[in-house]
Structure formats: C-alpha cells, structure tokens
Amino acid sequence: MIELMKQLCALPGPSGCEDAVREFVLEKVKPFADEMKTDAIGNIMVFRKGKKALERPVVLCAHMDEVGVIIKKITDDGMLKFGFVGGVDPRVVIGRPVRFGDVQGVIGIKAVHLTTAAERRTMPKTKDLYIDIGAASKAAAEDKVSLGDYGVFDSAVVEFGDGLIKAKAIDDRVGCAALLKLIEDEPPIDTWFCFTVQEEVGLRGAASMAYALDPGFAMVLEGTTAADLAEVEGGKAVCRVRGGVVLPFMDGATIYDAELFELLRNACDKRGIRCQTKTRVAGGTDAGRIHKSRAGVRVCAAAAPVRYIHSPSSVAAVADCEAVLSAARAFLEELGGDDE
C-alpha cells in the first residue's frame, strides 16, 4: 500500500483538475471492476461484487484532489499572482517550489530585511505572495502559463526517521491507496469503491456521488490533522502520529453514526488494529455531504493522522496509513458478518 501511496502523492491533482490521479486510478481498478462509472463532475465509482448483498449499497470513499494554487494575474515583470485552491496557510508556502505541468516556480515574498517591524508582527496574506517562474517579462511568462492554470507543490516523497513518510497530498492519497488495495480482494459484501473530486473546496464530488448511488452505509477514508508537536500537551495534540488509525465521532461537518463508530472501534480492538479518536471537533470530510443524501446515509470514517497537513511536506506514519486499510477491511467484514 505504501508504494501505491508514494505513486499517488507524486501525481498532480488539485481540486477541479484531478485528471492525472483519475487516469492512474482507472488503470489500477479495471482488472477488478464488475461495473465502473465516471460521472460528469469526475468522480470514479467502481462496483465489486461481494459474497453477500445488502438492501442498500455500501460505499467506501476517498477523495482524489489535493490543495494547490491557481494563477489569477501575470504582472508586467513576469511574476504570477495566485489564489489557493483549498485551505492553505500562507505561512507554510513561502520559499516552496511549485509546478504547473512542466513549468517550475518558487513562491516568494518580500525579503525580511525589507519589511517593517509591523509587517514582521503580522501573518502574511496571499496577496503579498507571488510565484517566480523565472520569466523576464509578462510576455515571457504568458508563453509558459495562462490565467486559470492549476499548480501543485513540487515536493518529493521521502520515507525518513522512525517509520515516517513525507509528501504532499497525503490528504487524501492515503485513502485512495487503501481503496486500491481493498478492491483487489473479493469483499465480504457488495461494495462501491468511490474516488471523489473537489473535496477540498466544499465536498462537492461526494454530493453527486452519494445522490447517484444512494448508499445505506458509507465509510470515508481520509488524512486528518495531527498536532502532536514539541511542547503541545494533552488534548491540544488532537491526534497523534504513530497512535494508530483515527476513528472520529464528530467533526465540523458530521456527527458520525454512533453504532457504526462503536462497531468500527470494537472491530479494530478485536483484530489488534491500533486506533485512537480526536480530542478536538474541527475540519470535515466527504461524510458531511454523503450522510445528507436522499434517504439519509449512516456514515463512519477512518483516517491517518497527518502533521503539517495541507502543506508541501505533510508527515504521517507508515503504520498509521496501513492501519487505515486494516480498519476499512474490518468494517466490511463486520457488515458482512465475517469477524475472522
């Protein structure tokens, strides 16, 4: 699974421009699909027949998109003014490389030596940043890029330290990798494996996917915010890298089904899958749209804890990522009545 995750994290796929990830996923799922759909917004929905069927479909879901940048203006001197696609803290991108296809650039800001004392006390704003692609003029820049072009962080995937992995887009290529591994085996129950788009800009792909399939149960596989940093104590850490898969009971968009939460937690406990929950209610997942679809959907989630999420250098533990896969497999086994 980790090798799959590395390949997925290296691909560009900002919200609304998930093409490279979609092509990769489609190629991987073809040998295992009993039915496959790609809808108008770009979601991939793959059906794999299982040993049993439930009255309403079961969906496992992960989003293909990542945060990124989009060009809004090209200045007379060839610099790019941009906006963020999804939620990005401007502090984490200064000096970081980005890429628009084959065009490389660096996110810049006025040097600290030239700032006032007041400027140094305030958080930089996106309007103060620019992307330098090395163009000598506006015309030279326009030969390379255009307004509306999407860019992503240009960040290598690296395993380091005691079982950690660093990459862009761990949110949510970890979920995509888990789905790609799960679909290789016959599931205990008929299952739709869904790879959604535009989660980072409002859970948009999940809404159309859930309306189309009208599932009875759904599980979202995700990356989630970990703040287990130096000198952060207790609940302020939210969840911890190397602490196991995160099973949330609530976030900013969803109150997860209480029975499914307990089912999943018990399933992990009896299989020896290390798990934890979050100590702060924040953020949101595709479940925020899925659970409201049509007749209502019972939802749960499993996530890898990720430090520095939505940055060029997100960090997760390999063991936690693999635990997401194990938790999803346990969920399907429990719904199918197979506790082995």
**What are the pLDDT tens digits along the chain (340 aa)?**
999 999 999 999 999 999 999 999 999 999 999 999 999 999 999 999 999 988 899 999 999 999 999 999 999 999 999 999 999 999 999 999 999 999 999 999 988 887 788 778 888 899 999 999 999 999 999 999 999 999 999 999 999 999 999 999 999 999 999 999 999 999 999 999 999 999 999 999 999 999 999 999 999 999 999 999 999 988 999 999 999 999 999 999 999 999 999 999 999 999 999 999 999 888 899 999 999 988 899 999 999 999 999 999 999 999 999 999 999 999 999 999 865 4
Q: Are 86 and 63 in contact (CB under 8 A)?
A: no
- Strand pairing class (44-48; 58-63): unpaired
Alpha carbons 190 and 55: distance in angstroms, whole number: 10
pLDDT at site 112? 80
pLDDT at site 113? 83
63 in a known ligand binding site = yes
Catalytic residue annotation: 199
DSSP at 230: T
CB atoms within 10 A of CB 272: 7
Alpha carbons 35 and 58: distance in angstroms, whole number: 14
Nearest residue to 152 via CA among 201, 84, 87: 84
pLDDT at site 338? 64
Return the CATH architecture of domain 2-66+168-335.
3-Layer(aba) Sandwich (3.40)
DSSP at 280: S
Residue at token pair 């948009």:
204
- What's the number of CA atoms in the CB half-sphere (13 Å) around residue 28? 23
Sheet holding 58-63, edge to edge: 35-38, 44-48, 191-196, 58-63, 217-225, 298-306, 245-246, 275-276
- What's the number of CA atoms in the CB half-sphere (13 Å) around residue 304? 33
Alpha carbons 2 and 176: distance in angstroms, whole number: 11
According to CATH, where is 2.40.30.40 located in the chain? Answer: 68-153
Residue at token pair 């430090």:
307
269 in a known ligand binding site = no
310 in a known ligand binding site = yes
* Residue partners of 35: CB distance under 8 A and separation at least 6: 46, 47
291 in a known ligand binding site = no
According to CATH, where is 3.40.630.10 located in the chain? Answer: 2-66+168-335
pLDDT at site 297? 95
CA 9 vs CA 18, 158, 179, 326: distances in Å: 12, 11, 15, 20
Nearest residue to 280 via CA among 202, 203, 204, 228: 228
pLDDT at site 218? 97
* Residue partners of 32: CB distance under 8 A and separation at least 6: 46, 48, 183, 184
The answer to whether domain 68-153 has CATH 1.10.150.170 is no
CA 259 vs CA 93, 211, 263, 267: distances in Å: 41, 23, 6, 12
18 in a known ligand binding site = no
